[in-house]
């Protein structure tokens, strides 16, 4: 019962954090009215340090609410998907058009993903990047595995 509650809390907190982060990223860094005041390079030497900081913040917030490291770390599979999705939802609201397919920024940012082309858009509507489907499936597989192991005890 407690673990089920922890998974629910972890899922809820990562959804809220990621959605908020995605909207604020668009407003603070990419909107046409942005003046450059929060330039990332002032605080972080490169984007990898910035993303690591954001993921650790997400883990910390999730852990603070659920007090379960497995739930906190496992929910991180959803962070890049939800954050990116809400960023592009904000962009589409501002520009009044459907934003997908988007540029393949994910494969450009992470050299390891170039080999498996996670950032490439799917060939069917809504033309989301592949990682929008793969990461939630990994999350779901992990949750089901943990539930299956628990029922086997």
* Residues 71 and 134 sit within 8 Å (Cβ to Cβ): no
* Residue spans of alpha helices (H) in the chain: 2-25, 47-66, 69-74, 79-95, 105-109, 113-116, 131-152
> pTM of this prediction?
0.78
DSSP for 108-133? HH-TTHHHHTTTSBPSSTT--BTHHH
What pLDDT is recorded for position 153?
59
Domain span at residue 40 reads: 2-152
Count up the domains in the chain and report the number: 1
**How does pLDDT run along the chain (153 residues), one tens digit per residue?**
555 677 777 788 888 888 988 888 888 777 777 666 666 666 666 667 777 787 788 778 777 777 777 777 778 888 889 999 999 999 899 889 998 888 777 778 777 777 888 888 899 999 999 989 999 998 888 888 877 777 765
């Amino acid at each position: 019962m407690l673990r089920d509650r922890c998974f629910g809390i972890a899922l809820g907190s990562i959804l809220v954090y990621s959605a908020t982060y995605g909207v604020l990223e668009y407003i603070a860094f990419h909107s046409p009215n942005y003046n450059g005041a929060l330039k990332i390079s002032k605080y972080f030497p490169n984007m990898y340090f910035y993303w690591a900081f954001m993921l650790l913040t997400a883990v910390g917030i999730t852990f603070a609410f659920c007090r379960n490291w497995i739930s906190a770390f496992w929910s991180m599979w959803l962070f890049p998907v939800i954050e990116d999705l809400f960023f592009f939802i904000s962009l589409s609201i501002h520009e009044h058009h459907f934003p997908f397919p988007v540029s393949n920024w994910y494969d450009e940012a992470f050299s390891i993903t170039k080999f498996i082309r996670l950032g490439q858009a799917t060939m069917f509507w809504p033309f989301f990047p592949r990682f929008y489907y793969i990461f939630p499936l990994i999350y779901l597989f992990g949750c089901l595995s943990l539930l299956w192991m628990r029922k086997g005890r």
